[in-house]
Structure 1
């Protein structure tokens, strides 16, 4: 199944509800001293209910979506301030597959808004099919949160798993390192069309 975490990634993990996932994020974030990395693989997501920017974008109102994304980004300013104050490496690795989905066109507006605010986002075309990768968050070398989604092609998070297993943490870090070393870096925010690659 596409984007499903393999058995080795879940071995010894704790299953979490969506609420438990958010609580575990807060606890892991508080312990993080050096690095936070987020790997985003799915090409379509359904944001949480009430995300007005996505609701505006879906029928085609990109200008309203942009304004709402700017407002939403300002709501995350405390997080960016915390990253700076603690001198954390905060990286989002976003995997792309062409042609871009409608969702990714929406997300590119979001990234265009957030990049100048200091969020570091790397866009990569992976060395193997994007469906073979799965979403996770890595906090230093002490914790990982692995996402779980409602079945279907659109990512709608239902919960996830928490792991502190050293071998799993090492393997997840290696996935990110391999993607960053062997993936094709693209710059979709600088005028690359949705059907071309650099």
Structure 2
């Protein structure tokens, strides 16, 4: 199976429904004082039903998709303001495998829009096959939320796990450190045509 968290990551964890995952996110976010890391590994995701930008992109209307993504990103301005006010290190770490999937070509527009608004993203070709990695959120050193996107091949979140197990939290942080050390850093948003690379 693709992107399944290994047993060590789930050791001592609590299984969460999707609603429980969102509730745990809010509680963990409120306790975060320094660092929030999000690792994104799947090369295709199914956004929530009714995400108009993704629907427009699928229909081939890239201009409308960009416009809608800009509106969606502006809706997150309060979050960016909070990150600045609380002086948080907020980073999305995105793994890429080439050729990019249709989803990632859509998402590159989103990353470009959000990057212009000040969101920090890092892109890597990982040192191991991308399928060996899994999505998680790390809040300081106190909590991690590990996503469950089902059996694939397209990620559609069905819940996840919460862990406060110190050994697991250190190992999750080390995954990001290893990506930054041994992965190949990419700059996929630096294109002159405005069209993300295929």
* TM-score interval (norm. to shorter): over 0.9
1:149-176, CA deviations, whole angstroms, 9 ceiling, x for partnerless residues?
A: 1322100000000000000000000001
Per-residue CA deviation, residues 93-134 of structure 1 (Å, 9 max, x unaligned), is 000000000000000000110001110000100001000000
Aligned twin of 2:197: 194
Secondary structure at the counterpart of residue 103 of structure 1: helix
Give ranges in structure 1 of 5+ residues lacking alignment: none
Q: How does 1:10-21 map to 2 (within 5 A)?
A: 10-21=10-21
Determine helix, strand or coil for the equivalent of 2:45.
coil
- Corresponding residue for 2:62? 62
Matches within 5 A, 1:24-173: 24-173=24-173
Q: Does structure 1 conserve the Cα–Cα contact (< 8 Å) formed by 2:93 and 2:121?
A: yes
Q: How far apart in 2 are the matches of 1:191 and 1:118?
A: 18
Runs of 4+ in 1 over 2 A off after TM superposition: 192-195
Unaligned runs of 5+ in 2: none
**Matched length:** 195
**RMSD of the alignment, in Å?**
1.1
CA deviations on 1:8-34 (whole Å, 9 max, x unpaired) are 100110000000000000000000000
TM-score between the two structures when normalised by the length of structure 1: 0.96
